[in-house]
Structure 1
Amino acid sequence: MELRRLLLVVTGSAAASNVPTWLNWLRETYPRLDVAVVATPSALRFVTRQALSLRIDHEVVVDTWEDCERARHVEHVEWADAMLVYPATFHFVARLALGLADSPALLAMQCTSAPVGLAPALPPGGLDSPAFQRHWATLAERRNVALIPPLPARSLTTGRDDGWVSPPLPEALRRLEARRRELAEVDVPVLTGGVTV
């Protein structure tokens, strides 16, 4: 893997509780990869900042504008070679697809040309929801977005095999890296003030 700096955004799915294990795996497998973690407030219902920060070399940032004294969204864009939302909730996917920028991570993802990976974890019926399908199709049109389809799994709520989980992190990273290589191979004109340069 050629990524050097990964911004990992953890959202409020129960699957967030598995992220510390994946961070251990990342540190052992890719010791040169610098990982920064942003956690949404709802993610902190399932995993603590301390559990995440013990496994990385940066402070875990909570994805809110409150107490944000710096232009965190700009820092994210300038620092990250790629961004990965893992796990991505239905709500986060919808906000990104709608062009919302109501948190530093979302604004960074709306403004970056770096690859952005989305690995959803969804409740029963979530994948087949017409709203989710519309948002997924909208994001598929963005060149820098890598959509990483969820896998069927047992729902923690129903106890049936009708839930959806993010694929293992190695698969998500493989797809994100493939998108990064695709973007690097294509020389895309830059628009500045409506003028192609």
Structure 2
Amino acid sequence: MAAPGTPEPDPALAVPPLDVTRLLLVATGSTAAAWLPVWAEWLRVAYPALTVRAVVTRSAERFVTRQALAARLGSETLLDVWPDEPSVQARHVELAAWAEAVVVYPATFGFIARLALGLADSPALLAAQCTDVPLGVAPALPPGGTTSPAYRAHVALLEARPNVVVGPPVRAVSQTTGKAEAWAPLPLPHLLARVEERRVLLAEAAGDGPGTADMGPAPAPGASHDD
């Protein structure tokens, strides 16, 4: 059984359309990251033609291992640090060029702030700053996170970017206080639906023709908090 306040992916969640074949998944240090192997398995079943590459921050490694994600995804999982060994390709350039869509799931307060302020001190951040593909962000916040003036300002900056969509977090039970005052990331299927909708809008703006997108049902409750 899951610990109080921990979201468990529902296998019955509807599968939204997603017209991409390469998805970059960035995981940051929220307790919600513990469920990423289950979401990874859901992605493999829901989108058989989709290739997912994962990048995890050092803080995310407190809650999920790269080995677990690599096994479920069937592809490499990178640590979000600059490699020590020299390489012909710059990691951030390779990631940005490879991805057809990016999701930050879950996204901590700290990562959201760095992304919004234009910081680029890790490969995943620099790739996110330089890409123009749809980028979905799923905040996971502690009690008081959504009403923080700093958080609201950061979200406003991100939403001003044409390729970024911020999935609204859902009310959750805090594992620290035991009260329903924390904020869990939007369930991944609902974030992907928003990412696909943004992809369609970007394609139409670029003159690639009309498309369709299904936003799916309203978000289901979950639970997590940003450490």
TM above 0.5, yes or no, is yes
* Counterpart Cα distance in 1 of 2:120 and 2:85: 15
Amino acid at match of 2:155: W
Correspondence list, 1:159-178, <5 A: 159-178=178-197
* Counterpart Cα distance in 2 of 1:110 and 1:94: 13
**CA-atom RMSD in angstroms:** 1.1
* Counterpart Cα distance in 1 of 2:170 and 2:109: 14
Shift of 1:187: 2.1
Structure 1 residues 68 and 168 mapped into 2: Cα distance closer, same or farther (>3 Å)? farther
SS state at 2:197 partner = helix
* Segments ≥4 residues shifted beyond 4 Å: none
Deviations for 1:11-62, whole angstroms, at most 9, x for unmatched residues? Answer: 0000000111000001011111100000000000001111111011321100
SS state at 2:41 partner = helix
For structure 1, the 5+ residue unaligned runs are 189-197
Residue 97 (structure 2) aligned to one of 78, 85, 102:
78
SS state at 1:185 partner = helix
* Counterpart Cα distance in 1 of 2:84 and 2:196: 33
Correspondence list, 1:178-193, <5 A: 178-187=197-206
Amino acid at match of 1:19: L
> What percent identity do the matched residue pairs reach?
57
Residue 123 (structure 1) aligned to one of 123, 128, 142:
142
* Counterpart Cα distance in 1 of 2:85 and 2:162: 30
Residue 54 (structure 2) aligned to one of 26, 33, 37:
37
* Counterpart Cα distance in 1 of 2:144 and 2:78: 31
* Counterpart Cα distance in 1 of 2:20 and 2:84: 30
Question: Aligned pair 1:48/2:60, yes or no?
Answer: no
Residue 123 (structure 2) aligned to one of 82, 101, 104:
104
Deviations for 1:68-115, whole angstroms, at most 9, x for unmatched residues? Answer: 633110011110000000000000000000000000010011111111
Amino acid at match of 1:160: K
Normalised by the size of structure 2, how large is the TM-score? Answer: 0.81
Match of 1:143 in 2: 162
Shift of 1:65: 1.3
Amino acid at match of 2:151: F
* Counterpart Cα distance in 2 of 1:43 and 1:13: 7
Shift of 1:167: 1.3
* Counterpart Cα distance in 1 of 2:110 and 2:144: 14
Amino acid at match of 2:43: L
Q: Which has the higher contact order (CA 8 A, sep 6+)?
A: 2
Shift of 1:67: 2.0
Match of 1:89 in 2: 108
Amino acid at match of 1:64: V
SS state at 1:95 partner = helix
